[in-house]
Amino acid sequence: MSRGALITIEGLDGAGKTTLALALAAELERRGLPVRLLREPGGVEASERIRALVKDPGLTVGARTEALLYAAARAQLAEQELEPLLAQGSWVLLDRFVDSSLAYQGVGRELGIDAVRAINAFATGGLRPDRTLLLALDPLVGRARTQDRGEPLDRLEREHEAFFHRIAEGYAILAASEPERIKVIDATQPPAAVLKAALEALDDLLTQAAQSA
């Protein structure tokens, strides 16, 4: 059995990651691929508990603590779900992965990309996505979308505007450094157009999967 593919979806809050993940999962299943859809932080019980902790607006969480908590949640998910699923040949669609920490904690919290990359390399055992879909969106638009949901804002969503502009800059840096892996998609498009762009970005992987079937 051939190894599956890890497809990660990245971007600011409000970019439409969850909408794309659901639509993409349905399309891949329609094509006969075994698909699992997971989110970060979360996906397994221990990681979901860390998610609740790190997003709690009632807590004070330092930048380094935040980075380590995300890495801990990621370590458990990688060991318990990601590696076994990939070994079984599944396509895993993951709403956020290491790039989120590089952008949010490395650049947004100004801890440094290299420092955050190092703790996450340890956490994941070096696991890397086969392809990353980066939904690009102006931070102000993302914040407006998040607020329009009418849901209480979590601890990170309550951050100041400059924080989100740094994150957007961080994502741009990452995309420029790995253009073969990270495919940038305009998140201002209608959902159907975003899905079409995502499928085009995965075309080579889908072709390989069809040939090996």
What is the domain partition of the chain in residue ranges? Answer: 5-212
Identify the CA nearest to 177 among candidates 111, 123, 124, 106.
106
What residue type is assigned to position 45 of the chain? E
Token pair in block for residue 100: 């989120």
> Which is the CATH superfamily of the domain at 5-212?
P-loop containing nucleotide triphosphate hydrolases (3.40.50.300)
pLDDT, tens digit only, all 213 positions of the chain:
689 999 999 999 999 999 999 999 999 999 999 999 999 999 999 999 999 999 999 999 999 999 999 999 999 999 999 999 999 999 999 999 999 999 999 999 999 999 999 999 999 999 999 999 999 999 999 989 988 888 899 999 999 999 999 999 999 999 999 999 999 999 999 999 999 999 999 999 999 998 887
Using DSSP's 3-state secondary structure scheme, residue 149 falls into: coil
Token pair in block for residue 66: 């935040």
